[in-house]
Structure 1
Amino acid sequence: MNRNSPFDDDSSDRLVATSEAGDNSAPLSISEISAALKRTVEDRFGYVRLRGELSGVKRAASGHVYLALKDEKAVLDGVMWKGTAGRLAFRPEDGLEVVATGKLTTYPGRSKYQIVIERMEIAGEGALLALLEKTKARLEAEGLFAPERKRALPFAPRTIGVVTSPTGAVIRDILHRLEDRFPTHVIVWPVLVQGEGAAKQVADAVRGFGALEPDGSVPRPDLLIVARGGGSIEDLWSFNEEMVVRAVAESPIPVISAVGHETDTTLCDYAADKRAPTPTAAAEMAVPVLRDLVATLDDLGLRQRKVVMRPVELGRERLAARADRLPPIEQLLQPYAQRLDDLGERLRRGLVDRAAKGRERLADLRLSPAILRGNLRDARQRLASARLTPPLVQRPLADGRQRLAALERLRLQLDPKAPLKRGYALVSAEGHPVIASRDVAAAQSRLTLEFADGSVQVAPGDAPPPAPATPRPKKRSRPAADDSQGKLL
């Protein structure tokens, strides 16, 4: 029997494996064959790009992502380590078609081969839009895009925060438009608007503005504008990231989303309180036009003045209408003039009649000596009946003396010179009968101090002493009146 071939059919009936002379195919361990297979696969497929649909995507607690790539006929497991997963520009989900770049390797623990993914991209714009719609549906189900979450924008914000690139044309357009319409204080938070890390910077900026204190050194804005210029769906993808959408939806400050042009729509637009088709339009939404406000105020002021004057004008119109309905003044005075003429005529006739009657009575009175003597006798009798006793005359005199004494006491109380007897002095000067102020006294060159027993001349302050008063010439005494005429009393 030929035993030179190790694959001879007769070797199958052996019970114990043996090695023969010249045999160079020693049995390998499982670890050895697995390591050899691993080297072979990694050497042959060290760099591959695969296109397939994601399935079974899960993120471990360590941060690594495990998934499977599949098509209609095959499935390939894949792993993405924590560092690579953190740099992804999108969130991998089941059903998403991607292009994965990496190397094939084996996993001896399960006798499986897999791809270690070093880079993952969405396979075309269609797949990107599918991911966008899927993310939109999930966030919309959470209520992040609900209309009742939308807040009204402040009418005239004092401070506006802008989250955008500090070097692009967007910020210049916004500042220029704000300056034209309504000059406002603007705070710019510079961020990347595309590429790796852009989504995190935008989200951190929105949350950073919301964390500012209203009365802090950097004032918290009353309104936020998240802006970026136009671009492809890949350029605008940072504003479709979930972290940006949640930051905008949770912002305590009203947000205007102005990402891209009018035809561009991102998830940030749905989460914001207001969407602007362009950054310039966002500036127009943020503030009113100052000139329009001034014109509106002027118009309101004019309307207010018209409203105030309208009752006055209506009153004037009503007064004029009533005045037109009044009869002429001559017509109103005619009855009174006629009555006055009638009364004047009656007065004239009355005076004539009274004078005639007086003449008649005077003619009837005959002044004879007997009538005069009778009148004199009656007067003497009335005088005799009136007895003038002393008490009747003294009582009015006593009442008059009492009233005179009361007036004298009142005069003494009101006399300005009465306090002089108690040690006071009355200060006067020429043109000032009584001086009660120090300033007035200091302005005089000479003062007169009047005491109860006389007066002295003094000079205030450092003024020279007053000159002695020139004695007044004595008045000539008039000659005594002739007493030859008798006194009445």
Structure 2
Amino acid sequence: MDDLIDDDSTRGRNDGEYTVSEISGAVKRTLEGEFGRIRVRGEVGRMFRARSGHLYYDIKDDRNVLACTTWKGQLAQLSVQPEEGMEVIVTGRLSAFGAQSKYNLNVEQVEIAGAGALMAMLEKRRTALAAEGLFAAERKRPLPFLPEVIGVVTSPQGAVIRDILHRLRDRFPRRVLIWPVAVQGKASAPEVANAIRGFDALKPGGAMPRPDLLIVARGGGSIEDLWGFNEEVVVRAAADCTIPLISAVGHETDTTLIDHAADRRAPTPSAAAEMAVPVRLDLLAAVDALGVRAARAARAAVQGRRQRATDLVRALPRPEALLAAPRQRLDLAADRLPAALRNRTARERVALSRLEGRITPGALASGLAERRRRLQALSARLDARLPQRIATSRRDLDRAVARLTPAPLARRAARDRERLDATLARLLSVARNRQARAADRLAALDRLRQTLGHQETLARGFAIVWEDGRVVTSAKTARKAAALEIEFADGRVQTGGKSAPKRKPKPDDEPDQGSLL
């Protein structure tokens, strides 16, 4: 170090002077020289991952803490990713950071050395409480769909309570009661347990409303910071609480014993608020959708009944059909009425004459004569006016029928004629199309027949062996034959070499095409 001492300024003195940078550099060189690459065993404590991707954490024992750093490029090379509470053996290089007068270990390798003391204690406590049934699934209570009052156990300062209130205000505003507690340190566990029991002790209808739901919330931190929520008093208070409880302690990767005892666990305080209440706009949209469905169902019902009424109206007979039979009966009655009246008058006249012959007194004779004259007068009047009345009634009926039937019948006949013409046109079009398709299919089948036929098969290089007009289909038959004839596409050849004139085979000589194909 003599080169760092100014001889002129320090002459006559025993100690030298350093600049801050010089002493920091000297310390750094000494650390890096004396402790180059070292291995350190300890428990992983507080961890922090920077936005740049670098990982900062502590390695500690029961008395001291060593700051460690693993750069972003070194994380991918680690065989084990460090986790809080894990007992590890780290390997790296010790260095100093002069800007803050700190030294740390740049870790290049991490090995598991065993569970940490806190983690071992936590696991032992979890096993004991689970054996008592405090974490059993049947103890879990369902959360209310829309609580009127929500109790929150957390610190009144910090971002946790603001996040919960903000999320509740956005989703569905509810009344919130806050029980302030310490969420870290020795006072955390008893205060949280007393808050849970205090909310549970409230009576319905009292001066202080009883919450319908509880949220125990805290932000993220190290295992030491969250240790208060692992205490047995807090776990038992959560398990004994009769109000549904949501645990929202730490971040998603943090797990405490109150999470097992609570009815629901939320990964974050904001997620706990989302579990507590539904989205008001979603409920309004669902109600609107139900209203639309109800209106649509009502319209469909009315439409169905209207269609049913229309169908029933179509089933009723036409007015012409209703009037046809009465019109015929009226015509027949009108034709028979004059003759019937004349016959009835004649019969009555004969009966009167018979009575007249029987009655001889003068008074009766004169009275009878008077009545005969009156009857004859009435008969004459009736004979004169009845045909005129019948003719008038017939004319009125004909005019009514004319007004009722001719035009609708003409229009109906025109419509029927148009439908008949359209139907005939469609039938002709369908017949022509079917005939064309059948002709095309027949032509295709004929082309296929020609392609697979006898002559086309010979043209592709095949041949037929004949013996006395029969087709030879095996070598055994060919060996026994005295003479063979081979037919090609352009003619026949004798086995002796003579060519036979080309002839078209007879229908009964048609070869078995299955054997050729």
Normalising by the residue count of structure 2, what TM-score does the alignment of the two structures yield? 0.46
Larger Rg, first or second structure (1 or 2)? 1
Structure in which a larger fraction of residues adopt helix: 2
